[in-house]
Chains A and B, each alone.
Chain A
Amino acid sequence: MVDIGAAEGIPPAEVEDVELYHAKSWVTKYVFCQDAKVIAIQYSITAISIGLVALVLSWLIRLQLAFPGTFSIVTPSNYYQFVTMHGMIMVIYLLTALFLGGFGNYLIPLMVGARDMVFPYVNMLSYWVYLLAVVVLVASFFAPGGPTGAGWTLYPPQAILEGTPGRQWGIILMLVSLILFIIGFTMGGLNYVVTVLQGRTRGMTMMRLPLTVWGIFTATILALLAFPALFVASVMMLFDRVLGTSFFMPAIVAAGEHLKYGGGSPILFQHLFWFFGHPEVYIVALPAFGIVSDLISVHSRKNIFGYRMMVWALVAIAVLSFIVWGHHMYISGMNPPFGFFFATSTLIIAVPTAIKVYNWVLTLWRGDIHLTVPMLFALGFIVTFVNGGITGLFLGNVIVDVPLSATMFVVAHFHMVMGIAPILVVFGGIYHWYPKITGRMLNERLGQIHFWITFLGAYLIYFPMHYLGFIGVPRRYYELGETAFVPASAATLNVAITAAALIVGAAQTVFFFNVIWSLYKGKLAGGNPWRAASLEWQTPETPPGHGNWGKELPVVYRWAYDYSVPGAGQDFLPQNQPPAIPAR
């Protein structure tokens, strides 16, 4: 190699004072490990395990909706508890943890060309605090009275009042678990942000980063600024519940008796919750955006269209997402000018989002599209996200939202946009990076079966729910009973939806079988099976060894999207390949 280190202003190949952590025993290598790659796996396994609990809960919810009262384990109280835990687990403990703690930990150091995160010890703590949060959450299932049934939004005053299931212990454990989660996340988040800022290798400017890193980076900043709102809300509600303060509790007469509360404001909670809650949607969406951009580019052998615009759009969405939270509160009796403001800002967010969609489509345009499994999932994401995004535009308008709020239409909307769409990306990402993580390919045929059942099944589940919402079927209802407006055919539809939900859920076993089977029997992948240009595929070893890069850190000469470059010998140029003609 040419001695580039001598050129002025370029840091040496190896920074001396980096003390790389070395595992000394089995325990520090696989359990209390500070290597981001191991932490990533730990995060992912924990998140997916608890996600499976949420999946089973969704079955129970669906069974009750299709066959009301048939299953004795789903009592009305249980139903609320299942709905609440399902929603909370899916949003926070599965998706947030998986995208940032899982994908973030694995990919950031490799993609920026670092040996590890900048604060490995804090990074390790982050996982253990997260695990503790999950344990506390699970404990609430076994506590007297069971987990909370307050809805994932935990609105006071009902969340902590008599009559709501899990009032006794469930809500306390839920709030404690959230507080722990936020503390753990903050530790990890500091790592993700500072590693991107300071850990980049030579030549890796911000504008040469793969969009995956940009997505995780902006989402982390968003989360670091949004989670404190949930933290404050949780602490205050915990005070109300345990110490008897009245932050959120107005004077209440229950069963003819004055409760000890008085003077608090439930609306204050809603503001705090949604100040976190809306950015949360983008905490999940932005990493998905980034990952999809990379999958599409790699698997259609084309550079990403409008890279700069993609970066700007990510930043714009992140900024805008802090001024739209009010669209979740249209029915809280807000001042009409506020409603107007929030509706407008909500619709404005659609602009950068649409830019991203156009750019994905234009990337595909005339690309050499390989319909690999990751690509299928990426395409599935685009369709689903557009779908959910459009119903979001409806709901963003006050006048449309008011009648549809709290109906199945909303359930269909948010599952499309922040449930199914990101989950498709999670799968796409796993199929894409599994070969790097394990050295083996996942089985293609099983992957295709998994994709089609999941993708089509998701539409069978959620498309009909839009119609249910239109005719006024409310969400969070244990049983509809006789109504004047819901025809009997809705019950038949509910049975069909439940059948689809059971099949989709069961089909995930194909995925898990594939993951475990391929670990031993999968085709050997080699270092770069997708012939991808970004840095994580250029490691000297696969799976990447301790310290990622062998003796010397890689040097980056180009962006991550040099596919099908005219005149180049290969159809892709790795980021660490020097230009053919010396630059100067």
Chain B
Amino acid sequence: MNITFLFLAVIAAIVAWWLAQQRLTAKPWLDAGLVGDTGASPLPAAKIGLGVFLAVVGCLFTLLISAYSMRMEMGEWRPAPVPKLLWLNTGMLILSSGALQWAQVAARRGRMDRVRAGLLAGGVFALAFLAGQLVAWRQLDAAGYYLTANPAAAFFYLITGVHGLHILGGQVALGRTMDKAWQGVAVGKVRLSVELCATYWHFVLFVWLVLFALLLLTDPIVADNGWFL
């Protein structure tokens, strides 16, 4: 639960920072009159919405990690070795995220051709990541670490599965953005969508890096032999 508290502390800090800007000590019963600034953010609502959604998703993964580490401490823990393939998959996801970042920069500069290329590359790399994850599942399964083999294996499938589903959901949003981009609308019209996709991708990449690090840290071989063996 420590990790959950850490996460909640971060959320609490953001909330506190936001509340601090809302003049919580104002005396609303005294100051009738017109107020120019209501304290709303200049960002578009969609971005704020995505931010709130990511906080919820973050909470979900934090709880999964908490459950994982709580279960780990309870003993009788036989984690599966981390498949080497995950390194390659990680690379794919980094490329995917990078491609969307590139598309975002292009959108800001008004280069529709590059936006399209970036979106396409982002989508393809993300699909490659998903395919890689599936192969990794097959490998583990073949090595005897199937879903019901033990709790550690079950956690591995659960956590990577939930993460994969979030990428899959992202593909839907990405698909809709691509649809717009290919319909030949002005760059300005897709910019927000591209930015939202990029943010989401960076976020799922970040989550993946944390999950991957967690898996590596608790990997039996790494734990016995150190990081670079």
Contacts and interface: CB of A to CB of B under 8 A. Distances in A.
Given A7-B36, A245-B154, A263-B151, A205 B23 contact: yes
A198 B48 contact: yes
Contacts of A118: 45, 49
B28 A558 contact: yes
Interface string A314-342: 01000100100000000000000000000
Given A200-B40, A561-B29, A244 B148 contact: yes
Interface in B81-103: none
A199 B23 CA distance: 18
B28 A307 contact: yes
Contacts of A243: 147-148
Contacts of B12: 319
Contact of A247 (B8, B11, B56, B151): B151
B6 interface: no
A9 B15 CA distance: 25
B81 to A, nearest CB: 18
Interface in A222-259: 224-225, 228-229, 231-232, 235-236, 239, 243-247
B33 A579 contact: yes
Contacts of A186: 53, 56
Interface-centre pick from A228, A307, A584 (highest chain B CB count, 10 A): A228
Contact of A7 (B25, B34, B45): B34
Interface string B40-57: 110001101100110110
Nearest to A319: B12
A260 B148 contact: yes
B63 A203 contact: no
Contacts of A584: 33
Nearest to A193: B52
A196 to B, nearest CB: 10
Contacts of B36: 7-10
Interface in B156-207: 158, 162
B67 A557 contact: no
B224 interface: no
B52 A224 contact: yes
Interface stretch (A52-60, A158-166, A265-273, A408-416): A265-273
Interface-centre pick from A7, A186, A197, A203 (highest chain B CB count, 10 A): A197
Interface residues of B, number: 50
A4 B35 CA distance: 11
Given A307-B29, A311-B24, A203 B35 contact: yes
A119 interface: yes
B139 interface: no
Contacts of B71: 247, 264-265, 268
Contact of B48 (A194, A262, A268, A561): A194
Interface string A188-231: 01100110011111111111100000000000010011001101
B63 A272 contact: yes
Contact of A197 (B40, B63, B155): B40
B34 A205 contact: no
Given A307-B28, A311-B24, A198 B45 contact: yes
Contacts of A9: 36-37
B143 interface: no
B38 interface: yes
B11 to A, nearest CB: 7
Contacts of A247: 67, 71, 151, 154-155, 158
A346 interface: no
Contacts of A190: 49, 52-53, 56
B35 A225 contact: no
A190 B50 CA distance: 9
B45 to A, nearest CB: 4
- The range of chain A's interface size is 35 or more
Contacts of B15: 221
Interface string A547-584: 00000000101110110000000000100001100011
Nearest to B155: A247
B74 interface: yes
Contacts of A573: 32
B168 to A, nearest CB: 14
Given A246-B151, A260-B148, A232 B76 contact: no
Given A193-B52, A247-B151, A319-B12, A198 B29 contact: no
B38 A202 contact: yes
A230 B23 CA distance: 34
A301 B33 CA distance: 22
A312 interface: yes
Interface string A1-18: 000100111100000000
Nearest to B74: A265
A308 interface: yes
Given A190-B53, A245-B151, A308-B25, A232 B33 contact: no
Contact of B22 (A119, A205, A268): A205
A534 interface: no
Given A194-B49, A245-B148, A239 B158 contact: yes
B29 A119 contact: no
B26 interface: yes
B210 interface: no
Interface of A: 4, 7-10, 118-119, 186, 189-190, 193-194, 197-208, 221, 224-225, 228-229, 231-232, 235-236, 239, 243-247, 260, 262-265, 268, 271-272, 275, 303, 307-308, 311-312, 315, 319, 322, 555, 557-559, 561-562, 573, 578-579, 583-584
30 contacts: A7-B34, A7-B36, A10-B36, A186-B56, A189-B56, A194-B48, A197-B48, A198-B40, A202-B38, A203-B34, A203-B38, A205-B22, A207-B23, A208-B28, A228-B59, A236-B158, A239-B158, A243-B147, A243-B148, A247-B154, A247-B155, A268-B74, A271-B1, A303-B29, A308-B26, A311-B24, A557-B32, A557-B33, A558-B32, A579-B33
Given A203-B35, A207-B22, A272-B63, 8 more contacts: A119-B49, A194-B49, A198-B40, A265-B71, A272-B67, A307-B28, A557-B32, A558-B32
- When A and B form their complex, which 9 residue pairs have the shortest distance between CB atoms, in order from nearest? A583-B33, A9-B36, A559-B28, A245-B154, A558-B32, A228-B60, A206-B22, A118-B45, A198-B45
